[in-house]
Amino acid sequence: MPTVLGLEGSANKVGAGVVRDGVILSNRRATYVTPPGHGFAPGPTGRHHRGAVLGLVADALADARLRPSDLDAVAFTRGPGMGAPLAVVAAVARTLAQLWRRPLVGVNHCVGHIEMGRLLGRARDPLVLYVSGGNTQVIAFSRRRYRVFGETLDLAVGNCLDRFARLLQVDTPPHGHAPLRPRPGLATPRPGHAPG
């Protein structure tokens, strides 16, 4: 029954969590928030993560009621994602793994999301259109491994949707849990009628 501390920081969220044999024992996160209508740049996002990640690790271990000696491994997001945030998480994960004498496991960001979906949704062999702000991939799970059938890092569907929302002045909260709402004063098109 392996117990793993995982660190994620590929974009504007940074997190630390502990999983034991497929059960989530803790899940702590902090989000770098920019003013509405602005994206997040790698440098400031990485500095945010650097200031938050060690506290998140301590909180995740405390929530799980574990000590570093109880861990079997330290996992971290290898990519894809934003360079500076990824570098912060990788450096912290490597340092903790060395200090605690635990194996270090690099995880593909997209596969991490898919595995959470498999764990929570019980999908056995998913075919996934993975859409994020930085990349888009078509991925399938077959014969105990993931296979990428196509990907783009330059024309990401998620980034297109983010830019389209900004163009329409639609509020998209960074936590992604609230419904999209037009800003006050913006004309809302009716079905069947072209704006104008």
Structural domain includes residue 194: no
Examine the domain organization and report whether 107 and 139 are in the same domain: no
Examine the domain organization and report whether 150 and 106 are in the same domain: no
Q: How far out from the chain centre does Cα 117 lie?
A: 13
Of 92, 114, 136, which closes a domain? 114
Banded model confidence at residue 171, pLDDT cuts 50, 70, 90 = low
**Residue 67 pLDDT exceeds 60:** yes
How many structural domains are present in the chain? 2
Q: What confidence score (pLDDT) does residue 195 get?
A: 42
Examine the domain organization and report whether 19 and 107 are in the same domain: yes
Q: What confidence score (pLDDT) does residue 119 get?
A: 77
Structural domain includes residue 67: yes
Domain residue limits at 18: 3-114
pTM across the whole model: 0.77
Examine the domain organization and report whether 73 and 8 are in the same domain: yes
Examine the domain organization and report whether 109 and 131 are in the same domain: no
Examine the domain organization and report whether 104 and 8 are in the same domain: yes
**Residue 148 pLDDT exceeds 90:** no
Of 55, 89, 114, which closes a domain? 114
Examine the domain organization and report whether 15 and 86 are in the same domain: yes
In this structure, what CATH number is given to the domain that contains residue 9?
A: 3.30.420.40
Residue 70 CA: distances (Å) to CA of 24, 25, 89, 96, 163: 15, 13, 21, 13, 44
Of 80, 114, 148, which closes a domain? 114
Dihedral of the alpha carbons of 4, 86, 156, 33, in degrees to the nearest 10: 100
Examine the domain organization and report whether 59 and 89 are in the same domain: yes
Highest mean pLDDT among 81-85, 97-101, 154-158: 97-101
Examine the domain organization and report whether 45 and 88 are in the same domain: yes
**Residue 189 pLDDT exceeds 70:** no
31-40, 45-54, 69-78: segment of lowest average pLDDT: 31-40
Separation between Cα atoms, residue 155 and residue 177, nearest integer Å: 25
Structural domain includes residue 9: yes
Examine the domain organization and report whether 71 and 147 are in the same domain: no
Structural domain includes residue 195: no
Separation between Cα atoms, residue 58 and residue 80, nearest integer Å: 26
Structural domain includes residue 14: yes
Structural domain includes residue 79: yes
Residue range 91-146, pLDDT digits in tens = 999 999 999 999 999 998 888 888 888 877 877 778 888 887 777 888 888 788 88
Higher pLDDT pick, 11 / 123: 11
Examine the domain organization and report whether 95 and 8 are in the same domain: yes
